[in-house]
Chains A and B, each alone.
Chain A
């Protein structure tokens, strides 16, 4: 191996042949400005066209290129090889998800969870759609942080609770629920809190905090979940003490 080479240890899983996932090593030319995704694309273009992985935008916004790099969930397009290169770069599919092939995981379950928190503006009455629903900068600021989520699912790969309880609604879906609950145009807060105030909702979270560490967009889902626990408790107590009161 030349001094300007780097070894990629990539986890392979071939669904047609069954069996356990195995590691395959590739030695490729190293450049100081290459990201992990560049290495994977080099392998696919020059060495092994059967290597399968998702990617699209190469600029950290599409959220499709997540993988465990040296054991930590990362966007491969935003991870420089020079920062993680310790002899070899190990690339594995995101933890906690079933593997479809090589680095491609099945996230249907995540999409169902996302849908369960109605991650869009809910209104009882849309009213006059020719007029605007005005928001001031501080209204936007209230939910801006959570709205930056790109659904890359790194937070799910980092969450040991999701790893042992796949039914847990999880970090990103919770953060997005908070994002819409904080939107002044939205009227669906009560239904979202009802969804999250369940055995599979926010109560499973033990505040490990790793979701917020790995988040490439600084959404801070861990803090969002603690806020939701607080809001869900307030709602719960209000309904216990004042059963007649209307929602919100």
Chain B
């Protein structure tokens, strides 16, 4: 069965998620404090750990991680195919590995998002 329509849908959804949410998140977590561009350090353990108690924040990071993984692995698949990783078996191999990373990564994010909240 052709799975591409399903993975393309997730890829597109992930494209919207990463485009709209990634730049601001990465800026706040990775650059705001080291470059002194922000009054506080949003990534500090006490600050981030404090926000992490809120369900909305957990949902946000689950969506962000899942979306970016489905988006990026799909693009990586086509970049590798373009670079010469071709043929039915090569494509099946890429599908299993890359979609596996996306699926297990999303499940992992879901696990940490509900851990300590729902159970």
Contact = CB atoms under 8 A, between A and B. Distances in A.
Direct chain A–B contact by Cβ atoms under 8 Å? yes
Interface of A: 160-161, 164-165, 197-199, 203, 206, 229, 232-233, 236-237
A233 B86 contact: no
B82 A203 contact: no
A229 B78 contact: no
B54 interface: no
A160 B81 CA distance: 12
Contacts of A161: 82
Interface of B: 2, 4-6, 8-9, 75, 78, 81-82, 84, 86, 91
Contact of B82 (A160, A198, A229): A160
Contact of A236 (B2, B82, B86, B91): B2
Nearest to B9: A233
21 contacts: A160-B82, A164-B82, A164-B84, A165-B81, A165-B86, A197-B5, A198-B2, A199-B2, A199-B4, A203-B4, A203-B5, A203-B8, A206-B78, A229-B5, A229-B8, A232-B5, A233-B8, A236-B2, A236-B5, A236-B6, A237-B5
Contacts of A164: 82, 84, 86
A165 B78 CA distance: 12
Contacts of B86: 164-165
- Nearest first, the 10 A-B pairs at minimum CB distance are A236-B5, A233-B5, A203-B4, A206-B78, A233-B9, A164-B82, A229-B8, A232-B5, A233-B8, A197-B2
A199 B4 CA distance: 8
Contacts of A199: 2, 4, 91
Contacts of B6: 236
Contacts of B4: 199, 203
Nearest to A226: B12
Contacts of A198: 2
A148 to B, nearest CB: 28
